[in-house]
Chains A and B, each alone.
Chain A
Amino acid sequence: MLSFILRRLASAVPTLFIVVTISFFLMRFAPGGPFNLERPLPPATMENIMRTYQLDQPLWRQYLTYIGNAVQGDFGPSYIYKDNTVAELIGKGLPYSIELGFYALLLALIGGVTLGTIAALRQNSVLDFSIMTLATMGTTIPNFVVGPVLTLIFAILLALLPAGGWGDGSFSFLLLPMIALALPQLAVFARLTRGSMIEALHADHIRTARAYGLPARIVVITHAMRGAMLPVVSYLAPCAAALMTGSAVVETIFTIPGVGRYFVLGALNRDYTLVMGTVVLIAIFVIVFNLLVDLLYGLLDPRVRHD
């Protein structure tokens, strides 16, 4: 087990290196640079800027410099938000994204699994139908619609909750963005849980156990749940990584100061260093969560072995 974890962590180094290398050259193939704006800069100014940021150097040298600095933990200054280094920007935004993403994940996971289980136990009932309708709406209606609608109702019409911002970080500020962020994922979890719960409840050993008269609830929790959680856990890794690195859409709609916006804004602004920071960030989250999930597989189903 320990050697498995160590091997996986060791393999993260080449993964990160490949990601950084591909991303570096991919970005430079894209037209435009961080200083191609609607208002073009005079050539002399452009020259000064290119020299200052060493963008006038050959690409391979820029690459080597970048790798050299990155290895030492220096991800450079942001080209757009010039008063800050990339590390500062991400360091300031990440706690907000993680906090919001973590609550959203909890809501999605607990809510989704609970609703999915209830639906499976009451298969084809009105309750099942209602839950699945909600789940379908959740996956279908995009959060750029859910977000504004929630704000209109709760912040403007009823004036119960703030329309946006992080404020003092209290629950009232987090509630709406959390719901907008969690809803689509909650729906996915509910659907996955319901599907595999129904399968698991039909399995022979569960039928047998039920026939013996054990209270259904215990059977469900001890036997069915375990096997049924597999697809939920598989989806957990990408979902958790996505939620905790922030969502550009939800952060923009609710004006949350997280890092999610940097994924899109950074790219649109051609802020090479900032984008690279986000690339490394998401890579780390994906690698770590995938590792955790692979470990969880072994706990849920002893048949899954790590060799």
Chain B
Amino acid sequence: MTDIATDPASTPPQSTSRSLFQLAAIRFRRNKAAMGGCVMLVLIALFSYLGPLFVPHSYDQVFSSYVTVAPSLEPRPDEASLEGAMQGVATRARVNLDAFEVTGQIFSATISAEDPIDPRTTRYFDRANEFDDTKVVATEKDGRVLKVEGNVSREYFLFGTDPNGRDLLARVMLGGQISIAVGVLASLVSLGIGVLYGATAGYLGGRVDNVMMRFVEILYSLPFVFLVVVLVVFFGRSFILIFLVIGAVEWLDMARIVRGQTLALKRREFVGAAQALGLSDWQIIRRHIIPNTIGPVIVFVTVVVPKVILLESFLSFLGLGVQAPLTSWGALISEGANNIQSAPWLLIFPSIFFVATLFSLNFIGDGLRDALDPKDR
């Protein structure tokens, strides 16, 4: 009996919602900008998550010979700097450099000193990032003069290196992995809480709204830095905590906006009609209120994503967030901002990826809005 009574009532909305969804999907796929955004986003994700497999350098590998070198398509070291590098090695090894020559991948050098030279000196050559596999090929004057040979080891730094001598390309990839994850997950947390909270407060109104909105005001005012520091003390540094903390502060604006929309929506005819049909409050919020707030919500999500990605770097400042030597786009950009004049590539490369990601998300957001807008079918 109950089965029969509920079935006809619950089936139609399900079938319409499925077809609505399909309709939206079709419209979304027709939107060129949105599809372009999707492709771009997939490319950036592939770059970040799979890219490290194709880069020979790890994100935390220090190249002490290549601290803050500019990006270049040519391998390092270039011919001009080899001689200088060799001179540096000789100075460190406390020997004189008499001759130095490079043919192809092989270098040969003659070194001399007052006293016989320890053959282990070759380690000084291998120690420099520029040289590799150094061997003594001839010993003269009782070991006071050595002829050594070895390989010149060449490295590519397409994005240059950071002030610690790490490959920026590998770091931008790593930063992408973390920032994309944080951006997507934390925005979803804030989206979920904000929309539900705002719609509920706005729809129920009255005393409930009043209390719920006062709660939002309290959260706005709490000292954020202390909140983070205390959480770190109690829970330590954890990745999940990032989402909780960011989610906890970033849903507030969303809730205010959704509530504002809801206040107007609930006086509209179709809500009255739904109430007359005997739908529960929750059903009305879910089927009629929330879908109609989609426009401003999507716009606001595209604002929240960059905010949370940048907020993450402030969290790492306080000891939450990702721990060095791990990094994120936010951290890379703020580090780059400090070096605008001396090493602009530190700012430019992570920014390009960050901005490209956000543009893609905006196109996708606009496409979703157009596709899902219930007023626009």
Contacts and interface: CB of A to CB of B under 8 A. Distances in A.
B220 A203 contact: no
A275 B223 contact: yes
B41 to A, nearest CB: 14
Interface stretch (B54-62, B67-75, B299-307): B299-307
A31 B226 contact: no
A200 to B, nearest CB: 10
Q: Looking at B354, B362, B375, which has the most chain A CB atoms within 10 Å of its CB?
A: B362
Contact of B257 (A199, A235, A241): A235
Contacts of B223: 23, 26-27, 263, 267, 275, 278-279
A142 interface: yes
Given A199-B375, A234-B259, A238-B220, A141 B226 contact: no
Given A19-B222, A136-B358, A287-B217, A231 B264 contact: no
B87 interface: no
Nearest to B336: A145
A152 B338 CA distance: 12
Interface residues of A, number: 63
B342 to A, nearest CB: 12
B302 A30 contact: no
B226 A307 contact: no
A173 B306 CA distance: 29
Given A139-B302, A275-B223, A278-B223, A230 B333 contact: no
Contacts of B263: 297, 301, 304
A196 interface: yes
A112 B344 CA distance: 30
A141 B330 CA distance: 10
A111 interface: no
Contacts of A148: 337, 340
B120 interface: no
Interface in A192-248: 192, 195-196, 199, 202-203, 227, 230-231, 233-235, 237-238, 241
Contacts of B373: 199
Contacts of B220: 238, 241, 282-283, 286
B116 to A, nearest CB: 49
A235 B303 CA distance: 12
B233 interface: yes
A235 B92 CA distance: 62
B299 A140 contact: no
Contacts of A305: 267
A198 B140 CA distance: 85
A137 B355 contact: yes
A80 interface: no
A238 B252 contact: yes
Nearest to B359: A136
Contact of A140 (B257, B336, B354): B354
Contacts of B302: 136, 139, 191
B372 interface: no
A117 interface: no
Contacts of B354: 140
A281 to B, nearest CB: 9
B81 interface: no
B74 to A, nearest CB: 29
Interface stretch (B104-112, B206-214, B274-282): B206-214
Contacts of A282: 220-221
Contact of B205 (A196, A263, A286, A307): A307
Contact of A267 (B218, B226, B359, B369): B226
A268 B319 CA distance: 12
Contacts of B362: 132, 136
B141 interface: no
Contacts of B218: 15, 18-19, 22, 283
6 contacts: A142-B333, A234-B257, A235-B253, A235-B300, A286-B220, A303-B268
Given A195-B369, A264-B225, 15 more contacts: A23-B222, A23-B226, A26-B223, A26-B226, A29-B230, A30-B230, A139-B303, A142-B310, A202-B375, A231-B296, A235-B300, A286-B220, A293-B260, A303-B268, A304-B264
Interface of A: 11, 14-15, 18-19, 22-23, 26-27, 29-31, 132-133, 136-137, 139-142, 144-145, 148-149, 152, 187-188, 191-192, 195-196, 199, 202-203, 227, 230-231, 233-235, 237-238, 241, 263-264, 267-268, 275, 278-280, 282-283, 286-287, 290, 293, 297, 301, 303-305, 307
